[in-house]
Amino acid sequence: MKKYSLFIPLILFMPFAVSAQFDSLINKHAALQGLDPNLVRAVMVQESTYNPNATSNKDARGLMQVIPATAIQMGISPKDLYKPEPNIIAGTRYLRYLTKYFNGNLDLILAGYNAGPGAVEKYKGIPPYKETTKYVREVKIRYARLNNGESPTIKGGSRKLEQSTLMVYGSWLGSGKKGQTVQTASNQTQAAPIKVVKRVEVKDAQPQEPAANTTVFSSNSPQRSGFVQTLDENGNFVTL
């Protein structure tokens, strides 16, 4: 038993130790997109455990496991997805898009990040996929921990967890925090807070002939494109 006594605590605390090297980027781009940085951290841990070189069997890449098709729609080159900052830019822009699209509903935002907004619309809620249901629950648990500094009760406490997590996120959306400005390297004050808007009807983009250097993905890939709009650098919707 002795030889494992130090190893187990290291495993438990490793994600928090590793996260420190990405904290400034998370804080910067969460602020630019009007997101709670702890939500970004919770998603990132679930997606890659802070591994910038992570690759899924669906070709989701990097810290926030963004697929190339989504990266392109978020204005990021797929070849840059293994670099921490471009990956975080793509992931936080996508979270901002989903936050606007689903009017701040945390369950739907997370389900959309995992399964795509099209699947959420199809089932009018969290899709009945085992992976997505587990994903939403685990990210919310981690998010609650990050904000409350403690692990919420899981067994028999799902309602309490639900209320606690949604209150935290709802409080964030309604607070002045999301509107705080930050200074970038170019010394420009950045973007406006998220405004909850009426959801627009979104349709799948029509298939197009891929460029020579573009990877073609199967239709059942996670985070499959389900919209024909993206966000420009100022956080405004742009039709593709």
Q: Which residues are part of the catalytic machinery?
A: 47
How far apart (Å, rounded) are the C-alpha atoms in residues 176 and 97? 20
Longest Cα–Cα distance in the chain: 60
How far apart (Å, rounded) are the C-alpha atoms in residues 54 and 197? 34
DSSP 113: H
Answer whether 143's CB lies under 8 Å from 107's CB: no
Which residue reads 């100022």 in tokens? 234
How far apart (Å, rounded) are the C-alpha atoms in residues 153 and 146? 14
How far apart (Å, rounded) are the C-alpha atoms in residues 172 and 35? 8
How far apart (Å, rounded) are the C-alpha atoms in residues 105 and 124? 12
How far apart (Å, rounded) are the C-alpha atoms in residues 145 and 139? 10
